[in-house]
Structure 1
Amino acid sequence: MKATIKNLNNEAVGEIELADEIFGLQVRSDLLHRMVNWQLAKRRAGTHKTKGISEIRGTTKKPYKQKGTGRARQGSTRSPQFRGGATIFGPVVRSHEHGLTKKVRKLALKTALSAKAADGKLIVLDTATAESHKTKELVARFAKLGLTSVLFIDGANLDENFVKASRNIPLVDVLPEQGANVYDILRRDTLVLTRNAVEQLEARLK
């Protein structure tokens, strides 16, 4: 699969051959769904917690005698039916992580890249560099490319000016190649890869 290489002024500066085994796979939404679930589960803090009956402060004394009062029998004011009492089967501190094999994770990343290529939402840039760290200049260049919601993936070393200039623009993310992931690719409308990123992704995923 051939793709045109552009610069930030939306000018064609060459062509690149994209590997079909990475950018030309059949799009499987089940794989993407599993991968996004796995990523979001790993991000969850799992610090939600309610108090069980053993953790509620209060007396252990029986509130009133068992029989003869005409009221329902009670053994403790810390029980869940009382205001300020325990929560039964409430959430506890735990990890939400679950397993997903490396083979599936690798295939899901290839599928996400293929999905963007199939939708025509993949752009290959010569380089992602900026002469200045000023946001205004970069916004004007993005307008030429028609970019609003976009993820940039560059090589291992990001251009510092480009990162600083793009940091303040809404719906724009910049990642190094080793940070490429399914969730970030899918949450932005357009995927922009630099020539370096394509070479490094192909070397990593082939």
Structure 2
Amino acid sequence: MVECVVKNWQGEQVGQKSFDLRVAKETTAAHVVHRALVRQLNNARQGTASTKTRSEVRGGGRKPWRQKGTGRARAGSTRSPLWRGGGVIFGPKPREFDLKMNRKERRLALRTAFAGRAEDLIVVEEFGDQLSRPKTKELVAAIARWGSEPGNKTLLILPERTENIYLSARNIENLKLMIADQLNVFDLLHADKIVITASALEKIQEVYSD
């Protein structure tokens, strides 16, 4: 069970909120989270890097000079990997980098990563009604009042997308907006501070509790 202080729009403490997520054992937690992180980064790779072997490079069909009598090293093609403009030895070819990880293990890693950031978690009240229209400056000021410095990488987690908050947040440097049921390990670990609304915390508890 993790206890968190809840802050209002002005940054004042107005209550307590707790959450309880089943996480990995201490001995295996780092391994599980690391696997999930490596999987996410690998699966994001396009795998389209490609080079040509000597058989795929255009030209080089004729022997450059005769085998003997010239005093030069023997050569059979101008597309040898030893030549400028030649093929590439053991170069990259298109491939899949995808790593497999079962659903239970992925969710366990996500819960473990989230619970591990408890010290950097800032729980706030719903503030959608405070932004009657998109206002980036007001949101920046509120995040500072909540305890995240302007230079910090901040992850803002909401229960659902709200247009005014989205439009206010999209142009703020070092701020990433995320919906509670679309979390990923990389963003949880990458952020310096995680700002989450009380209802988003309940949604995380509901969605990822199994």
- TM (norm. structure 2) is 0.88
Which of 163, 168, 191 matches 2:166? Answer: 163
What is the Cα-based RMSD across aligned positions, in Å? 1.9
Which of 194, 197, 200 matches 2:197? Answer: 194
Distance 2:101 2:38 in 1: 10
Higher mean displacement: 99-108 or 3-12: 3-12
Q: What stretches of structure 2 of length at least 5 have no aligned partner?
A: none
Alignment of 1:1-206 (within 5 A): 1=1, 2-21=3-22, 26=26, 28-117=29-118, 120-129=119-128, 130-148=131-149, 149-155=153-159, 157-206=160-209
1:128–1:154 CA contact under 8 A, matched in 2: no
Q: What stretches of structure 1 of length at least 5 have no aligned partner?
A: none
Deviations 1:56-79 (A, max 9, x none): 111411111112222221111111
Distance 1:20 1:89 in 2: 47
Higher mean displacement: 41-50 or 83-92: 41-50
Structure 1 residues 102 and 20, CA gap change in structure 2 (3 angstroms): closer
Deviations 1:122-175 (A, max 9, x none): 1212214233312111111112112132111111x2121111111111111111
Structure 1 residues 127 and 187, CA gap change in structure 2 (3 angstroms): same
User: How many residue pairs were aligned?
Assistant: 202
Measured after TM superposition, the shift of residue 89 of structure 1 is 0.6
Distance 1:94 1:140 in 2: 46
- TM (norm. structure 1) is 0.90
